[in-house]
Amino acid sequence: MHDIGLNAGQLELSVRQMDDVIQLASAWGKRLLEDAEGTGMEAIGSKLEAALASLSDAREALAGYPDAIESDHNAVGTVRLV
């Protein structure tokens, strides 16, 4: 833990959990979309498609999070001469 009070390991576990939740929501959304399309429910189908696109964007945004955490973890607390 750094002097800023943030444990990098705990942070990584939390971000991984968030990524898992997004992945689970995406899987459920795809199943719901298939059901909606199968019954001709176009209005909800378009909303589900938009939600799935947003979930995909969220997962892409988190790509490489372990490296980002490591990079930030190594940078915190460094001394810079002015």
Task: Please tell me the pTM assigned to this model.
Answer: 0.77
Classify residue 5 by its DSSP letter: S
43/37 Cα distance (integer angstroms): 10
Whether 73 is in a domain gets the answer no
Whether 2 is in a domain gets the answer no
69's CB contacts (< 8 A; 6+ apart) are 8, 11, 12, 15
Whether 81 is in a domain gets the answer no
pLDDT tens figures, 3-28 = 456 688 899 999 999 999 999 999 99
Whether 74 is in a domain gets the answer no
What is the predicted pLDDT for the residue at 1?
Answer: 45
CA dist list (Å): 33 to 18, 20, 24, 29, 65: 22, 20, 14, 6, 29
Strand, coil or helix: 59: helix
Whether 31 is in a domain gets the answer yes
Domain that holds residue 32: 8-62
Total of domains in the chain: 1
pLDDT tens figures, 22-66 = 999 999 999 999 999 999 999 999 999 999 999 999 999 999 999
What is the predicted pLDDT for the residue at 49?
Answer: 97
